[in-house]
Structure formats: C-alpha cells, structure tokens
Amino acid sequence: MGASASASAMDTGSGVHVFTLVALLLIGPLLACAWLSVRQTALVSCAALALAVAASLGHGVPPGADTALRLGGLLLGCALTVYAAHRRTSLESALDSAREVARITQRVIMRPISRDLSGTHVCTRYVSAAPESTLGGDLYDVAMTPFGLRILVGDVRGHDLEALRLTAATLTAFREVAYTAPDLPAVVTGLDKRLAPELGPEDFVTALLAEFAPGEVRLVNCGHPAPVRSGRRAELLEPAVPSPPLGLHPDPPQYRVRLQPGDRLLLHTDGLTEARAPDGTPFPLLPEVTRALREPLPDDALHRLHTSVLAHTTGGAPYDDLTLVLCQATEVTSPVPVS
C-alpha cells in the first residue's frame, strides 16, 4: 500500500514538473513573435511543441485529460504567437510603406532648384541627416509674385509624418499668401493665421522670408537662423528686433539689405549653424561659408559647403537635416536707396 502511494506521488510530481515545463516552453514562441519573422516564429513554436511531447513521454506521464489540456493550451498559445507575428510584420510593412511614400512626397516637396528667376539665380540643396532616418522638418519654396521674387526657408518643429504634414501646410499657406500680400510682414501675418488651426500647443515653424528687388533684398525673420551675405566678406544679417516663430503670433519688422554686384545671399536651416564635430566644436560658419562661396558656380559653392560640413562632423552623432538656398544677382541693376 505504501509503495503504491509512493509511486503515485512520484507520478504526480513528474506530471507537475512536466506541466511547468510545458508552460515555460511558451516563452520561446512569445519572444519569437515579438522579434522574428512569421516563419521563424512557427519554427520556434514547432520546436516548443516537440519538446513538450518529448518531456511528457520521457517522464512517463500517462495520457489523460490534464495532459491533453496542457498540450492543447501550448498548441493554442503557439498558434496565437504565429498569428501575432503575422500581424506585427504586416503592420511594420504597412508603416514602412507609409514612411517610404512620405519620403518620396518630401523629396517632391523639396524639389531641387537651379535656375534664373527674375534676375536672380537660385540654387538649393537639401540633405537629410541620414537616408534611413525619420523625416525632417526643413522646408523651402520660391514664388515669382507681382512684388518680385519671394523665397521662404523654414523649419518645422519635430520629425516624422507629423512634421511632413506641417511642412505641407506651411508651403500651401505660403503659396496662398505670397502672391497677394503687399509686403513680407503681411505674408507672415497670413502664414501665422492659416497655420494656427494646424499647429498643436507645442508646435511652431521658424521661417525666413526674402523678397528681391533691384540692388537689395528685403527680409523678415521669425526665429530662424540669420542668412549670410557674402561679398568682400561674409556677414550674418541678423534682424535688429528678434521675433518668435510662426505659431507664436510673430510681428517681425522688415529690414532691407543692399546687394552689391557679385554679392551672394545664403539662406539656410540650423543644420548648418548647429553642426558639431565629435568633440563638440561648432562648425566655423563664416570662414567656411567665405571659402565655399568663392567657387565661381553657385551649385559648386553649395557642394563645397556641404562637403565642409560633412568633414567637420565626421565621426560624430548625425547632425540635423541641412537646407541651403543660395541666391546671386544675374543682372546688374541700379541700387534702390535703403532706408
């Protein structure tokens, strides 16, 4: 009687250990469905089921309702992990597709320009921090208006799809107001009004607007890095009065800068001003801009400047997206008196 009870206890103990092992075997498929492909998850699940059956037979657990229930639970759990892996990979594929469409859309929005526009040659360069990175918020656009050539360079706060949405909204608003607003402060007012419904409580858009006239450029700056005028020397064209970005109700004054024959105007985003070397050394903006803009052709000048930024930041963390817009008068005209 005692021997029989002891044997029964041993069988019960073996069964408990096997059931515990069966439960633990589900951990493998669970981890697999979070990281691996559907096929790999299925292989891990099959291996877990095979180990569970082998463990039951090896320990002499008699077939019964409990054994069938535990093995059936493991089978169901494995099937669910395979389904979960399928759902995860499908969602990741859909998200990757959406991101790729967004990247293509951004490249269309940020179309490269190199042409003469109303007596001013304009060329652009946009470089993402990394091709595989999330979408950035840099933007630029040009408009040939009744008031002259107008250019917008801006930077939307944030990255990814939301930044792309706000970029598109900003460019749409610019194309709506640039042709009708009588001056650049009015353009800013129109932009801020149209963007207000699109911006969240913490969203904003830094913006620099330029309007070209014979012998001068008119500027308004809404929290954006100052442009650089390169002639006999390079200098930052800082506004006399700082203004907040779009979305924060800016009211910037317009300031006018004379452009001598041969002068170039570089508009850019903070990917240039905030570039850092691996040891934290900032990019020497004015000396490098001076050297780069000595190139006879504007497109070559932008290429040299971009190469200088890459050389300075090599080995460091990826810097921000970089947008460069270079403008140079192609016609010699009489200067307008500057007030």
Pairing of the two strands 255-258 and 216-222: antiparallel
- 173 and 290 both lie in a single domain: yes
Closest among 324, 215, 325 to 263, alpha carbons compared: 215
Name, in order, each residue with C-beta under 8 angstroms of 139's C-beta and a sequence gap of 6 or more.
109, 110, 152, 153, 154, 155, 156, 167, 170, 171, 323
Q: How high is the pLDDT of residue 336?
A: 42
Among residues 102, 121, 143, the one where a domain terminates is 102
Specify whether 134 is located in the same domain as 239.
yes
Domain that holds residue 29: 2-102
Domain closes at, from 54, 73, 102: 102
The whole-angstrom distance between residue 73's C-alpha and the CA centroid of its chain comes to 44
Question: Are 80 and 209 part of one and the same domain?
Answer: no
Structural domain includes residue 335: no
Asked if 270 and 154 sit in the same domain, the reply is yes
Say what percent of the chain tops pLDDT 90.
40
Question: Greatest CA separation found in the chain?
Answer: 119
Last residue of a domain, one of 74, 102, 130: 102
Domains of the chain: total: 2
Answer yes or no: do 18 and 160 share one domain.
Answer: no
| Helix and strand element counts for the chain (H, E) | 9, 11
Phi, psi of 332 (to 5 degrees): -85, 120
Q: Can you give the pLDDT at residue 9?
A: 40
Antiparallel, parallel or unpaired: β 234-236 and 255-258: unpaired
Query: Is the full-model pTM beyond 0.75?
Result: no
Do 198 and 164 sit in the same domain of this protein? yes
In a domain, 107, yes or no: no
Q: What is the pLDDT of residue 14?
A: 45
Judge if 126 and 97 occupy the same domain: no
Contact 184, 211 (CB under 8 A): yes
Question: Are 162 and 297 in the same domain?
Answer: yes
Is the residue at 339 inside a domain? Answer: no
- Total length of the chain: 339
Query: What CATH number corresponds to the domain at position 251?
Result: 3.60.40.10
**pLDDT score recorded for residue 318:** 52
Alpha-carbon span 99 to 93, nearest angstrom: 10
The answer as to whether 334 is a domain residue is no
Same domain, 96 and 121: no
Residues of the chain predicted below pLDDT 50? 1-16, 18, 132-134, 317, 333-339
98 shares its domain with 116: no
**What tens digit of pLDDT does each residue of 259-281 get?**
988 899 999 999 899 888 888 88
- Do 155 and 300 share a domain, yes or no? yes
